Structure 1
Amino acid sequence: MSHPSDSPVTAPTPARTTPSSAPPLRLRLLPMGDAALLVETDGIDSVLALAAVLAPLAHTGEGIWAEVDDLVPAARTLLVVARPTTDLDELARVLLRAARGASVGAGTSEQRVVEIPVVYGGPDLAEVAALTGLAPDEVVVAHTGTEWRVGFGGFAPGFAYLVGGDPRLTVARRAEPRTRVPAGSVGLAGEFSGIYPRESPGGWQLIGTTDVVLWDTDRQPPALLSPGTTVRFVEAGR
């Protein structure tokens, strides 16, 4: 079986779906074995834009999209998992054509929104305030004042890496990770925010807690937060 080229490929975005100032997505396609393509992008915004275009196609199951079993986003890549008999060259061609409709920041008309009530005052709230130069209550306002998006999942079942928050909240992980972080802890690390779905070790800066269940095997799907979902943090009691 032949494989798609691993040289960088630019998928231009047509003007009819993208503002004139929006740059085209730069994509690099790499074969991953005989049944998957790894699409490298410029970053998480491009990953989400591409996934927003490809997910409906994979869901409809028309043409070669019927052979796509899963789309797995990460910080800079999107893994397109297909069946072993899939012609990856053809899948790459179809994918690049579809990518022309992807626009960073365009969003979707059926964007899902989840509100997460949080009791703020976690053990690292004062440290985050010191690192950012904000007062503790200003950290809370910054965290609740911006809509976050689920970029990708990982670390533990139900854990979602949230992006797009107030850039002032970009802080380093703790120098010494905790051996025990309670379930429902809300934290910050780098550009991300996240919620620990279960008790586990962790090195994120903890600023609050929530009672929302992130992972429930009796729920379909079990994960409350999926890539592309918009998350609004709300201070509990307000």
Structure 2
Amino acid sequence: MSLDLVWQYLLSPAFFQGAVMTLLITVCSLFFGVVMGLVLALLQESRFRAGPVLAFFYLWLFRGTPVLFQIIFVYNVLPSFGLRFSAFTCAVMALSLNEGAYMAEILRSGLQAVRSGQRTAGMALGMTQGQIMRKIVLPQAARIVLPPMGNQMISMLKSSALVSVIAVQELLLIANQTASASFRYFEALCAAGIYYLALTTVFMIGQAWLERALDPKKRKKPALSLTERLLRSSSPQ
């Protein structure tokens, strides 16, 4: 093992560009996946019969087939129907469609967790359904769904490595190409692993910050100093 070579890979433009591509794929797929998931969650709660049926079919299709299958299908089958997109667009499209199915269940559980009395109180105040959803339901549901959404975010970051099969120049493909040229797989994969851990750490910190920002109890509670924490831990119960 050569630590100098690992450091060289970490600072190389190719690995940095691969990490940026991985981050871009993850963020774009998460954004469209959340939008799709919210639409599906609202369809499941719709009073029209066609809404839950369409949502069930979507969930059955995209949760029942592997992500890798969906990526290859979008990239290879859509051109036969005259729909040609770049490899990056196909990757984001496939990952977003897959992520939407899982986000739908997470968001639906969050929406159902808000008590019906909250909606009734909003109606009593003369609020419209849109205002109730925007000002009452969604803010409360956001605190509930944030932890599982954080898990999905990290899972999406790791799933983005699958798009290497359609030649998207993301981090894992760059590492594999570099290792194949030099036969230094250990160093190349270590460098890629460090990038993945760094990106995952950033997501985890962002999730913790959002949880604190959305929790009114944590916002109002002042942070204890180190001395106060030590005194509290040493005091008799």
TM-score category of the 2 structures, normalised to the smaller one: under 0.3
TM-score (norm 2): 0.19
Structure in which a larger fraction of residues adopt strand: 1
Larger Rg, first or second structure (1 or 2): 2
Please, what TM-score do these two structures have when normalized by structure 1? Answer: 0.19
